């Protein structure tokens, strides 16, 4: 099978093998990872290593804390402004796709939102470059990679206000100056694990400043104090994330992940640009290295193309239900041979129908 799913997405084979073994016998304990207590030393070692690896990859010190929480990135659309934004304050948001739009909707429940950047005018097929962020903004929020629309920020926005980023679909695919961010959150199921856990990295100095009471389970400070054990964490999902980060480190770290991401993206886009039947729709300079979004110039052929993909063991190529078209996701664990097989099929299909 060639797995191009946008999430939950492909995982390294050795991670799947080790996780499967742990379901039957975790670290020779005779117990399954699914049944060990979350406050045991066994799981404590997993959580400690997972948090350590995040800080190592991000090159962060004691001023940042690492949390593994429930709810996925969608919960963070609400939890971030609840912890950072007061009713009489304004946060700046970038609206560059469906997930940014959802984050804006949730933030407006807690304070004022100033949409400083939007690509709605061209159906989110590009990333705006010139926009102004007022200095009195509580923070600037943006989505680093837009999974649905196939755009990606290839630079960190220049601003003097605290940065908040949803990195769900490109985290740990490249080195970044992670220390520039006040808050980072990412659902694990794209590049760093299985569905069910959300990574949150927060700079402690931005917390404890809102006047509103925050429900216990929603307060980042409480989770920090409890070491992500305020309530029962998603034990198995945290374990798979730890295994995946081990794999990233073993393979060469974020520098190697970036090298492979570039290789995959350049290979696929170079082929896509030469096939007249297939049309990329994203501005070239803003194309995502993670999610290539495109259409067939003859829409009546889309169903037939997807059927051929299925017959050849290629899954996950149908575009998001909100935009349609086609999408190829190229996360860390995707081998280049899968893209080579897909490109061969696309060339054959193009030669037949173009």
- For the annotated catalytic residues, the residue numbers are 99, 166, 190
Count Cβ atoms below 10 Å from residue 279 Cβ, excluding itself. 14
Alpha-carbon Rg for the chain in angstroms:
21
Contact between 146 and 288 (Cβ < 8 Å): yes
Place of tokens 């060339």: 347
- With beta carbons less than 8 A apart as the criterion, state whether 191 and 331 touch: yes
> Which of these, 170, 162, 102, lies nearest to 137 by C-alpha position?
162
**Number of residues that make up the chain:** 354
Tokens of 93: 């948001």
**Angle CA(4)–CA(7)–CA(12) in degrees, nearest 5?**
65
| Tokens linked to 271 | 């082929």
Cα–Cα distance, 119 to 130 (Å, whole number): 12
- Strand residue runs (E) in 258-312: 278-280, 291-296
């Amino acid at each position: 099978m060639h797995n191009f799913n946008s999430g939950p997405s492909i995982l390294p084979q050795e991670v799947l093998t080790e996780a499967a073994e742990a379901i039957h016998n975790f670290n020779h304990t005779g117990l399954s990872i699914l049944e060990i207590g979350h406050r045991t030393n066994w799981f404590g070692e997993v959580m400690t290593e997972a948090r350590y690896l995040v800080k190592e990859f991000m090159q962060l010190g004691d001023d940042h804390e690492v949390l593994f929480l429930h709810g996925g990135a969608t919960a963070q659309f609400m939890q971030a402004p609840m912890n950072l934004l007061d009713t009489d304050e304004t946060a700046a948001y970038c609206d560059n796709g469906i997930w940014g739009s959802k984050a804006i909707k949730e933030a407006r429940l807690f304070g004022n939102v100033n949409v400083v950047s939007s690509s709605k005018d061209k159906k989110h097929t590009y990333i705006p470059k010139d926009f102004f962020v007022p200095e009195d903004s509580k923070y600037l929020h943006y989505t680093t990679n837009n999974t649905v629309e196939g755009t990606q920020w290839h630079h960190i926005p220049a601003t003097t206000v605290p940065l908040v980023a949803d990195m769900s679909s490109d985290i740990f695919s490249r080195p970044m100056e992670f220390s520039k961010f006040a808050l980072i959150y990412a659902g694990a199921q794209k590049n760093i694990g299985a569905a069910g856990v959300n990574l949150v990295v927060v700079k402690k100095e931005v917390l404890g400043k809102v006047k509103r009471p925050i429900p216990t389970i929603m307060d980042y400070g409480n989770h920090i104090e409890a070491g992500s054990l305020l309530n029962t964490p998603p034990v198995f999902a945290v374990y798979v994330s730890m295994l995946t980060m081990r794999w990233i480190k073993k393979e060469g770290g974020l520098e190697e992940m970036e090298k492979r991401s570039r290789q995959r993206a350049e290979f696929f886009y170079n082929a896509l640009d030469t096939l007249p039947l297939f049309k990329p729709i994203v501005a070239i300079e803003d194309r995502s290295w993670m999610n290539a979004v495109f259409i067939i110039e003859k829409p009546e052929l889309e169903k037939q193309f997807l059927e051929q993909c299925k017959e050849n063991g290629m899954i996950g190529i149908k575009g998001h239900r909100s935009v349609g078209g086609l999408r190829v996701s190229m996360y860390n664990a995707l081998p280049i041979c899968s893209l080579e097989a897909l490109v061969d099929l696309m060339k054959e299909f193009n030669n037949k129908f173009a």
